Chains A and B, each alone.
Chain A
């Protein structure tokens, strides 16, 4: 399906929602349609960590209803968050319509795709599918074979990858969903931005407020929140390289009507929205080269985290010492409340220093034993 057709469908969808068509879905909360501008009225920051923290607080405090994993297979929900042109659903990766009837994820039918894989969630949603594992702004309907083809690959740009297709119940290819090479999956061009904005949403929402410069996790259970790094889901060797890929995809595939419709449906059902859909400029303001506000601080925190991750714990003494020096130097610019954001890394660094010191102390004791024996052998020459 071409991008133009996709946009036509999304426009029609947006028109339907504007006229206030409601669904008799199985939810009890009040149906309120979105006034996107009012939703962001509390956002005063213009960029950097300050904006990131305010967005975290906003989307967690307005997330008043945490949908269940069963909610995510409700056809009435998914036809609103991912509306197809003929009243069914739009398959996420291939952007082709698929029956919304739940058929238990058989091949040629849809199942629930974790855009940010469970196994890469730092144990936040890999066991219970709760919190982010059942967030309607995260979980997307995908054709089962295509879902299996993507598996738990990280996202990234590949060349010469294997084509992964949405197939029908007869196994016939319907639409291309992406490319896989090794453990990296590259969506088609018209989905890259969608993926990037969902990843940014997950990162901003489900990092604990201490990591994300916010002040609260809202009403969500504490178990929903933890530490997430972009390198967990984007194939890159550093956070900055992962961000580069995300911004590239975000800018190359602009927000479309499907995403806007999803935001409307999500706010109606669960209370919050994806800010990077409503305000795509937020992405650059937070993570771009010219990010304003306190965004510069993020770079030295990321540098410290990378340095701690790079600590060598065995083998060459010189390499071990060099890696510890790098981490100590990377910690120097981190002051005050920022240390709360990297408390785990600081603990890991001091534990590694302790182990190194214990090791060299044992070597020094051995050397001292040899020195002592040699001096004692002089005997009367020293008396």
Chain B
């Protein structure tokens, strides 16, 4: 090999090395591929149980004991063909009806009912003011750029969520969101926690059954 060809070879090697380094760097910044998690969201689960716990902030003592004061709502979603049945048990603080001094009046009350949703529309629902979703366009979306400190294993995923609205697919304003999920070939469970704008701590637990 003559001297000219050797110089060209060196330049080619350097260029190729630089390209590989750039490719490696780019790949490292983009984070791991999470497409398989999104694929698991598209599976046909027979049941999903959604538990939402809203824990009121400690600096406003709502309880005269050291126990936390919270409101917990549970939504159990099952499917009959293309109809989603949402059985809900929503907990609220009870308001006082000034006319009645009911001995059974407690700080909390439960609203229970079942709604049926088809094609994003509520087709049946009890006559109460419990909100149920209609025409949801978004939903959970796993993309690496939405997270920091990703820890992805064969059967688990944990991360700090730096873009909660994009990840949750909802108009949510919060801080300190974290996600952890367990799965095999489908999701088993998922936990999302965050601190709401009001200062409350919220814990959402998803339980999936295929």
Q: A20 contacts the other chain (Cβ, under 8 Å)?
A: no
Do residues B138 and A376 form an inter-chain contact, with CB atoms below 8 A?
Answer: yes
- The interface stretch among B7-15, B18-26, B49-57 is B49-57
Residues in A with CB closer than 8 Å to B86 are 382
Expressed in whole angstroms, the minimum distance between the Cβ of A246 and any Cβ of chain B is: 32
Q: A32 contacts the other chain (Cβ, under 8 Å)?
A: no
A328 to B54 CA separation, bound complex (whole angstroms): 30
What 13 additional pairs, Cβ within 8 angstroms, besides A378-B50, A380-B136, A382-B133?
A318-B62, A318-B107, A328-B100, A364-B71, A369-B196, A373-B171, A374-B192, A375-B131, A375-B133, A376-B170, A377-B168, A379-B137, A381-B139
- The interface stretch among A187-195, A250-258, A354-362 is A354-362
Interface string of B135-172 (1 = CB under 8 A from A): 11111100000000000000000000000000011111
Expressed in whole angstroms, the minimum distance between the Cβ of B178 and any Cβ of chain A is: 14
The 4 A-B residue pairs whose C-beta atoms are closest, nearest first, are A379-B139, A328-B101, A360-B93, A376-B170
Q: A325 contacts the other chain (Cβ, under 8 Å)?
A: yes
Q: Which residues of B contact A (CB under 8 A)?
A: 41-42, 45, 48, 50, 52, 54, 56, 61-64, 69, 71, 73, 75, 77, 84, 86, 90-96, 98, 100-101, 103, 105-107, 117, 119-120, 131-133, 135-140, 168-172, 192, 196, 198, 200, 202, 204
Interface string of A253-285 (1 = CB under 8 A from B): 000000000000000000000000000000000
Do residues B170 and A317 form an inter-chain contact, with CB atoms below 8 A?
Answer: no
Do residues A374 and B131 form an inter-chain contact, with CB atoms below 8 A?
Answer: no
**Chain A interface bracket (under 10, 10 to 19, 20 to 34, 35 or more):** 35 or more
Q: Assuming A316-B61, A363-B56, A380-B139, is B168 touching A373 (CB within 8 A)?
A: yes
Do residues A331 and B101 form an inter-chain contact, with CB atoms below 8 A?
Answer: yes
Do residues A321 and B131 form an inter-chain contact, with CB atoms below 8 A?
Answer: no
Point out the residue from B50, B131, B140, B200 that lies within 8 Å of A379, measured CB to CB: B140
| 7 CB-based A-B contacts, threshold 8 Å | A321-B106, A357-B95, A366-B198, A377-B138, A377-B169, A381-B139, A383-B136
Interface string of A301-321 (1 = CB under 8 A from B): 000000000000001111101
Most chain B CB within a 10 A radius of its CB, from A328, A349, A360, A381: A381
A318 to B94 CA separation, bound complex (whole angstroms): 11
Do residues A377 and B69 form an inter-chain contact, with CB atoms below 8 A?
Answer: no
Q: Assuming A350-B98, A353-B98, A382-B117, is B92 touching A376 (CB within 8 A)?
A: no
> What does DSSP make chain A's interface, helix, strand, loop or mixed?
helix
Point out the residue from B42, B62, B71, B98 that lies within 8 Å of A380, measured CB to CB: B42
> What does DSSP make chain B's interface, helix, strand, loop or mixed?
loop
A332 to B102 CA separation, bound complex (whole angstroms): 11
Point out the residue from B73, B138, B171 that lies within 8 Å of A367, measured CB to CB: B73
Do residues B107 and A321 form an inter-chain contact, with CB atoms below 8 A?
Answer: yes
Q: A368 contacts the other chain (Cβ, under 8 Å)?
A: yes
Do residues B64 and A367 form an inter-chain contact, with CB atoms below 8 A?
Answer: no
A376 to B94 CA separation, bound complex (whole angstroms): 25
Most chain B CB within a 10 A radius of its CB, from A318, A369, A380: A369
Do residues B96 and A381 form an inter-chain contact, with CB atoms below 8 A?
Answer: no
Q: In chain A, what residue has the closest Cβ to B71?
A: A367
Most chain A CB within a 10 A radius of its CB, from B41, B105, B133, B140: B133
Expressed in whole angstroms, the minimum distance between the Cβ of B198 and any Cβ of chain A is: 5
Residues in B with CB closer than 8 Å to A364 are 71, 92-93
Q: Assuming A350-B98, A369-B196, A374-B50, is B63 touching A317 (CB within 8 A)?
A: yes
A368 to B92 CA separation, bound complex (whole angstroms): 9
Most chain B CB within a 10 A radius of its CB, from A324, A361, A367: A367
Residues in B with CB closer than 8 Å to A380 are 41-42, 136, 139
Q: In chain A, what residue has the closest Cβ to B96?
A: A353
A353 to B105 CA separation, bound complex (whole angstroms): 13
Do residues A319 and B64 form an inter-chain contact, with CB atoms below 8 A?
Answer: yes
Point out the residue from B69, B73, B77, B202 that lies within 8 Å of A378, measured CB to CB: B77
Residues in B with CB closer than 8 Å to A383 are 117, 119-120, 135-136
Do residues B202 and A376 form an inter-chain contact, with CB atoms below 8 A?
Answer: no
Q: In chain B, what residue has the closest Cβ to A316?
A: B64
Residues in B with CB closer than 8 Å to A374 are 50, 52, 75, 192, 204
Point out the residue from A318, A328, A373 that lies within 8 Å of B172, measured CB to CB: A373
Q: A370 contacts the other chain (Cβ, under 8 Å)?
A: yes
Q: In chain A, what residue has the closest Cβ to B170?
A: A376
Q: A148 contacts the other chain (Cβ, under 8 Å)?
A: no
Q: Which of A85-102 contact B (CB under 8 A)?
A: none
Q: In chain A, what residue has the closest Cβ to B200?
A: A366
Expressed in whole angstroms, the minimum distance between the Cβ of B28 and any Cβ of chain A is: 29
Q: In chain A, what residue has the closest Cβ to B75?
A: A375
Residues in B with CB closer than 8 Å to A329 are 101
Residues in B with CB closer than 8 Å to A74 are none
Residues in A with CB closer than 8 Å to B202 are 370
Q: In chain B, what residue has the closest Cβ to A376?
A: B170
Q: In chain A, what residue has the closest Cβ to B117?
A: A382
Residues in B with CB closer than 8 Å to A368 are 131
A332 to B99 CA separation, bound complex (whole angstroms): 10
Q: In chain A, what residue has the closest Cβ to B102?
A: A325
Residues in A with CB closer than 8 Å to B172 are 373
Residues in B with CB closer than 8 Å to A349 are 98
A350 to B96 CA separation, bound complex (whole angstroms): 10
Do residues B196 and A360 form an inter-chain contact, with CB atoms below 8 A?
Answer: no
Q: A127 contacts the other chain (Cβ, under 8 Å)?
A: no
